[in-house]
Amino acid sequence: MEQVYEALLRRAEEAVAEAHRQHRRAAELMAFVAELRESTPAGIVVCAWCGNVASGGRWIDPAPLLAPRLRQRLEEQATHGICPSCLNRVSAEVAAERADNRP
Ligand SMILES: [Zn+2]
């Protein structure tokens, strides 16, 4: 019975964690939709590093929302920029590279 209890507890905790992740994702999408409604097609920006999409400064992964053909058109036609997480990563990489190249 101990094993069943442990498995039940673990699975229930995982299900709760997944529900929290989906709730956060839904909140992000709702905020993105609100930004998108305020924007125009020209206001959409694609991160040139990771492919995430911004509208009004809010970035999301468009992969689950768009079929590959539409994602490709987005890549071809949208203005490109860099999202905050890629900017942080690239800045850290550049700083590390500079530190390595110091005599
Ligand atoms: Zn990015």
Say how many Å lie between the CA of residue 3 and the centre of ligand 1.
Answer: 43
pLDDT of residue 59: 93
Ligand 1 is an ion; its neighbours by CB within 5 Å are 47, 49-50, 52, 83, 86
Q: How far is the CA of 51 from the centre of ligand 1 (A)?
A: 6
Report the pLDDT value the prediction gives residue 21, as an integer from 0 to 100: 96
Specify the pLDDT at position 68: 93
* Closest C-alpha among 26, 24, 32, 38 to residue 52: 32
Instruction: Tell me how far the alpha carbon of residue 49 lies from the centroid of ligand 1, in angstroms.
Output: 5
User: pLDDT value at position 66?
Assistant: 92
Tell how far the Cα of 75 is from the centroid of ligand 1, in angstroms. 13
What pLDDT is attached to residue 13?
A: 98
Q: What are the residues facing 15 on neighbouring strands?
A: none
Q: What is the mean pLDDT of each run of 10 residues along the chain (103 residues)?
A: 96 98 92 89 93 90 92 93 96 92 79
Model pTM above 0.85: no
Q: Can you spell out the DSSP letters for 44-70? A: -EEETTT--EEETTEEE--TTTS-HHH
Exposure string of 58-89, with b = 16+ CB inside 10 Å and e = fewer, is ebbebeeeeeeeebeebeeebeeebbeebeee
**pLDDT number for residue 82:** 96
Other C-beta atoms lying within 10 Å of the C-beta of residue 45: 20
> Residue 86 has what pLDDT?
97
